[in-house]
């Protein structure tokens, strides 16, 4: 492998989270009955015309500004002409020669903590196609055009990634950026964030690019890495046994963990791009750019640094928290509501995440608000409940049984701290075991555990072991 260099470029399709479509006022909501959200424009009825959704333009500009790209103004919509049943006009409205976003850079972080800059070629706006259904239509295909016209932003990178790990890190980084910007819901299962990966191999030191293979429609960080790793090996094997690489489009099958060629078209497509005469050049005023630049939210990288600085979090915890804006926000809201940062970070990335993943039905957000969680975490920090009892409390809160304090009282989970009971149990334990006291005072420190056990037993497990051992230590020494 050492003599080969891997060259990877990614084209990432992000679905912009507008309410209406890119060129029509039909809804973009996911999951409607077939063709209920396909209006005359989406169906390409004769005589209807596209009208640009300003929110999609704003979102693309926000992205451009966030990655330090140039916003091209005016930018131009072009027609990409080809026939397919899911493409009602017989052309897709996209951008070709004059895309809205040009250039830009994103910084990726690798497993070993090192950083790399990946340059973007461009990002452009285009409309999605409809959906073809093949199963269960008696040898026919069925067309659902609800998705036709949904706005997509295609982000094209330079071929600067050198390993599958880098490609996956890049994909994660962009996912973070678009979700933190609030311009994409990032839902990969519904296809809101998916990528095509181009990969080629060349000899180390070689300037020319090798023959590239395009891997289509990958919708998971894990799969992009696996697919590229498989493809990397396949290409190296071929090259080393003297077989040429065929320029083609392949598909990754997660089941077999292999890639396979997709149907080869009879003849090469010639998309005959030209500026769409139904639409005019789009100008983004300086003032709008300035306004959007002003309102840009904090991006994952900056947020992570701030979480580390402001809340004294470890880099690992901060990394986990900024994997989505939702969790970073949840964390900060919990701290804002009074929880200590370290307990909040530990509990959110531990218990809360575990519960979120355990749920069989997908939860958009945790059923316990940041405020409520903070109340529970405060109880932990002040010793009102033990860690293990707190897990039980959270489980009850998750089911909607009430607020932390309520549950603690009802279930009698309050941990016994300093007070009459504890004093009494400690005294009893010392009085009942004079021999052990003697041995302890003679230097057998290990016996402290024995006394703690006695006290815990007497308390029925409610005493805080930390306080118990502190009191025992004081009393055993002083007498």
Partner 1 sequence: MHERTLLEQAQALQDGEVSSVELTQFYLNRIQAHDESLNSFVTVTGAQALAQAEAADRARSAGEAGPLTGVPLAHKDIFCTRGVRTTCGSRMLDNFVSPYDATVVERLQAAGMVMLGKTNMDEFAMGSSNENSCYGPVRNPWDPERVPGGSSGGSAAAVAARLAPAATATDTGGSIRQPATFCGVTGLKPTYGRVSRFGMVAYASSLDQGGMLGVSAEDCAALLGTMAGFDSRDSTSVDHPVPDYQKELKQPVDGLRLGLPKEFFDDRLDARIRASVEEAVAAWEGQGAQLVEISLPNLPLATPAYYVIASAECSSNLARYDGVRYGHRCADPEDLEDLFCRSREEGFGAEVRRRIMIGTYALSAGYREAYYDRARRVRQLIRRDFQQAFEKVDAIAAPVSPVLPFRLGEKTQDPVAMYLIDCYTIPVNLAGLPGLSLPARPVDGLPTGVQLIGNYFDEARLLGLGAAWQRETDWHRQVPPGFA
Partner 2 sequence: MDLTAETVRGIAKLARLRPNPDEEQRLIQDLGAILEFFAQLSEAEVDGIEPMAHPLEVDQRMREDEVTEPDRREDYQEIAPDAREGLYRVPAVLDSD
Q: Which residues of this chain interact with partner 1, rule CB under 8 A?
A: 40, 43-52, 79, 81, 83, 85, 88-91, 141, 143, 270, 272, 274, 277-280
The site partner of 312 among partner 1, partner 2, none (C-beta below 5 to 8 Å per kind) is none
Rounded to whole angstroms, the Cα distance separating 312 from 66 reads 26
Closer CB to partner 1, residue 47 or residue 136? Answer: 47
Residue 244: other Cβ atoms inside 10 A: 8
Closest Cα to residue 120, out of 38, 178, 46?
178
Find out whether 335 and 344 touch, Cβ atoms under 8 Å: yes
Residue 421: other Cβ atoms inside 10 A: 14
Find out whether 437 and 454 touch, Cβ atoms under 8 Å: no
Q: Does 137 bind partner 2 (CB under 8 A)?
A: yes
User: Hey, what are 84's tokens?
Assistant: 């397919």
Find out whether 227 and 215 touch, Cβ atoms under 8 Å: yes
Q: Does 283 bind partner 2 (CB under 8 A)?
A: yes
The site partner of 323 among partner 2, partner 1, none (C-beta below 5 to 8 Å per kind) is none
Closest Cα to residue 292, out of 58, 106, 101?
58
Q: Does 139 bind partner 2 (CB under 8 A)?
A: yes
Contact letters (x/-) for partner 2, 59-98, by CB under 8 A?
---------------x-x------x-x-------------
Closer CB to partner 2, residue 51 or residue 410? Answer: 51
Q: Is the dihedral of CA 274, 278, 281, 285 positive or negative?
A: negative
Contact letters (x/-) for partner 2, 252-281, by CB under 8 A?
----------xx---x--x-x--x---xxx
Q: Is 389 exposed, middle or buried (0-12, 13-18, 19+ CB in 10 A)?
A: buried
Closer CB to partner 1, residue 137 or residue 274? Answer: 274
Q: Does 295 bind partner 2 (CB under 8 A)?
A: no
Q: Does 288 bind partner 2 (CB under 8 A)?
A: no
Closer CB to partner 1, residue 270 or residue 431? Answer: 270
Number of residues that bind partner 2 (CB under 8 A): 52
Indicate the SS3 state at residue 278. coil
Can you give the binding site for partner 2, defined by CB under 8 A? 18-20, 24-27, 33-40, 43, 45, 51-57, 74, 76, 83, 85, 132-134, 137, 139-145, 216, 249, 262-263, 267, 270, 272, 275, 279-283
């Amino acid at each position: 492998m050492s003599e080969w260099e891997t060259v990877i470029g990614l084209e990432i399709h992000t679905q912009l989270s507008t309410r209406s479509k890119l060129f029509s006022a039909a809804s973009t909501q996911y999951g409607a009955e077939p063709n209920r959200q396909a209006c005359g424009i989406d169906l390409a009825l004769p005589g209807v015309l596209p009208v640009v959704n300003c929110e999609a333009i704003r979102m693309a500009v926000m992205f451009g500004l966030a990655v330090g790209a140039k916003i091209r103004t005016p930018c131009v919509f072009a027609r990409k002409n080809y026939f397919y049943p899911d493409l009602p006009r017989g052309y897709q409205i996209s951008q070709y020669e004059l895309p809205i976003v040009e250039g830009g850079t994103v910084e990726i972080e690798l497993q070993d903590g090192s950083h790399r800059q990946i340059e973007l070629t461009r990002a452009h706006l285009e409309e999605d196609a409809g959906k073809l259904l093949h199963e269960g239509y008696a040898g026919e295909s069925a067309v659902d055009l609800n998705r036709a016209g949904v706005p997509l932003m295609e982000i094209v990178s330079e071929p600067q990634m050198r390993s599958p790990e880098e490609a996956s890190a890049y994909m994660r980084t962009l996912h973070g950026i678009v979700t933190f910007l609030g311009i994409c819901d990032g839902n990969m299962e519904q296809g809101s964030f998916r990528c095509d990966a181009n990969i080629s191999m060349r000899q180390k030191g070689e300037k020319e690019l090798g023959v590239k293979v395009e891997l289509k429609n990958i919708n998971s960080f894990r799969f992009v890495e696996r697919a590229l790793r498989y493809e990397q090996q396949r290409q190296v094997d071929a090259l080393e046994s003297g077989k040429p690489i065929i320029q083609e489009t392949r598909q990754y099958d997660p089941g077999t963990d292999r890639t396979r060629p997709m149907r080869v078209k009879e003849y090469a497509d010639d998309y005959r791009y030209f500026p769409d005469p139904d639409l005019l050049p789009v100008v983004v005023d300086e003032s709008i750019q300035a306004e959007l630049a002003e309102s840009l939210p904090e991006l994952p990288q900056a947020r992570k640094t701030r979480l580390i600085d402001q809340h004294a979090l470890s880099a690992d915890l901060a990394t986990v928290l900024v994997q989505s804006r939702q969790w970073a926000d949840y964390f900060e809201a919990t701290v804002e509501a009074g929880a200590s940062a370290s307990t909040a970070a530990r509990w959110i990335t531990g218990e809360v995440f575990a519960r979120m993943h355990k749920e069989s039905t997908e939860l958009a957000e945790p059923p316990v608000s940041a405020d409520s969680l903070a109340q529970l975490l405060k109880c932990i920090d002040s010793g009102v409940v033990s860690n293990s009892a707190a897990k039980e409390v959270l489980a009850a809160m998750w089911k909607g049984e009430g607020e932390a304090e309520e549950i603690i009282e009802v279930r009698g989970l309050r941990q016994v701290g300093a007070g009459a009971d504890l004093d009494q149990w400690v005294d009893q334990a010392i009085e009942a075991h004079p021999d052990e006291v003697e041995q302890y005072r003679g230097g057998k420190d290990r016996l402290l555990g024995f006394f703690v056990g006695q006290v815990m037993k007497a308390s029925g497990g409610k005493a805080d072991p930390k306080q118990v051992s502190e009191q025992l230590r004081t009393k055993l020494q002083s007498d």
